């Protein structure tokens, strides 16, 4: 009897993600950056938790993902791993930690795995970083690739617009996906590319393809937690579905608390010792 993976309490592994693709069972992935949120997300049954370098934006308030450091990613990774029982935890290697040389990349990757106890790492890029990818894989560290819009390369692109609309970029993306698969990556993220191209990639590779703004014909979906919970304001790309309006809920709760403190309504008789 086949078990629906979402109802299977065992730890999710890269092997199970592969089985899910083979069975046509969609993979759910969401970002988390801290212990409390990660424990809620894990209990809700998400398959993969990504400790994304989007922490640079949504936690640290930076305009881009470039400033976040190796130490900061390790801090977030460690906090998340402590909370998670079931989901596979993937941590983003930050900008500058894997581009200088394959040796430096593998040193930083080992450091991230040793300290965070994460299950895998994610790196942005294709053929340009393939030597680093191979070295990290050779050290026994599973890698999730990331193609399409790669926020660490924002200064090269100049915009966060949809990528790979032109044939030449689409062909390079497909060839990069095949290279990453051949090198041994266990999965791929495709960010903000035409749905038809994402489908073509998902059909061309055997490993799971997880999309964000890449349409529904891929093997799974990922969203940034703060965006899908409606905590962030002023960010409304077409691909983002908001499942809650936590911004209003938190604002309302904090305003009521402020009023209660000002009016001396809080604490009352039963809320003291
Ligand atoms: O850092 C991040 O949150 C990501 C996702 C958008 C895939 O890389």
Number of Cα atoms under 13 Å in the Cβ half of residue 210 = 27
Distance, CA 54 to ligand 1 centroid (Å)? Answer: 6
pTM of the prediction?
0.96
The residues, any chain, with a CB within 8 Å of residue 203's CB and separated by 6 or more, are none
54 lines ligand 1 (CB under 6 A): yes
Query: Residue 193 has which token pair?
Result: 């590319």
Residue matched to tokens 């906090």: 79
| Number of H-type helices and E-type strands within the chain | 11, 8
Contact 59, 79 (CB under 8 A): no
Distance, CA 221 to ligand 1 centroid (Å)? Answer: 11
Characterize the bridge pairing of strands 88-92 and 27-31: unpaired
In whole angstroms, how far apart are CA 2 and each of 5, 23, 48, 220, 269? Answer: 9, 10, 20, 19, 56
Which residue's CA is the nearest one to ligand 1's atom 1? 52
Could you confirm whether 191 is annotated as catalytic?
Answer: yes
53 lines ligand 1 (CB under 6 A): yes
Residue matched to tokens 């801090």: 75
Query: Residue 143 has which token pair?
Result: 């890698």
Phi, psi for residue 140 in degrees, rounded to 5: 90, 20
Tens digit of each residue's pLDDT, the chain (273 residues): 444 555 678 999 999 999 999 999 999 999 999 999 999 999 999 999 999 999 999 999 999 999 999 999 999 999 999 999 999 999 999 999 999 999 999 999 999 999 999 999 999 999 999 999 999 999 999 999 999 999 999 999 999 999 999 999 999 999 999 999 999 999 999 999 999 999 999 999 999 999 999 999 999 999 999 999 999 988 999 999 999 999 999 999 999 999 999 999 999 999 999
Of 25, 104, 169, 191, which is the active-site residue?
191
Number of Cα atoms under 13 Å in the Cβ half of residue 64 = 16
Distance, CA 219 to ligand 1 centroid (Å)? Answer: 16
Atom of ligand 1 nearest to the CA of 210: 7
212 lines ligand 1 (CB under 6 A): yes
Number of Cα atoms under 13 Å in the Cβ half of residue 59 = 20
Atom of ligand 1 nearest to the CA of 122: 8
Distance, CA 191 to ligand 1 centroid (Å)? Answer: 8
Contact 244, 229 (CB under 8 A): yes
pLDDT score of 6 = 59
């Amino acid at each position: 009897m086949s078990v629906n993976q979402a109802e299977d309490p065992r730890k999710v592994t890269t092997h199970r993600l592969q089985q899910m693709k083979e069975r046509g069972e969609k993979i759910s992935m969401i970002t988390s950056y801290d212990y409390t949120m990660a424990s809620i997300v894990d209990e809700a049954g998400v398959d993969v938790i990504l400790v994304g370098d989007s922490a640079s934006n949504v936690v640290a308030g930076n305009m881009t993902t470039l400033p976040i450091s190796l130490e900061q990613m390790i801090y977030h990774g460690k906090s998340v791993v402590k909370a998670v029982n079931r989901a596979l935890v993937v941590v983003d290697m930050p900008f500058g930690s894997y581009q200088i040389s394959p040796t430096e990349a593998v040193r930083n990757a080992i450091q991230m795995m040793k300290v965070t106890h994460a299950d895998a790492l994610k790196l942005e890029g294709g053929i340009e970083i393939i030597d680093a990818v191979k070295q990290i894989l050779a050290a026994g560290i599973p890698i999730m690739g990331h193609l399409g819009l790669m926020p660490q390369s924002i200064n090269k692109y100049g915009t966060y617009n949809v990528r790979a609309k032109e044939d030449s970029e689409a062909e390079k993306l497909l060839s990069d996906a095949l290279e990453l698969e051949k090198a041994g990556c266990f999965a791929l993220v495709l960010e903000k590319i035409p749905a038809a191209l994402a489908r073509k990639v998902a059909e061309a590779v055997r490993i799971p393809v997880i999309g964000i703004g890449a349409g529904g014909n891929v093997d799974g979906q990922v969203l940034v937690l703060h965006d899908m919970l409606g905590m962030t304001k002023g960010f409304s790309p077409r691909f983002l579905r908001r499942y809650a309006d936590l911004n209003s809920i938190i604002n309302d709760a904090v305003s009521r608390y402020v009023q209660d403190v000002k009016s001396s309504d809080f604490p009352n008789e039963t809320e003291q010792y």
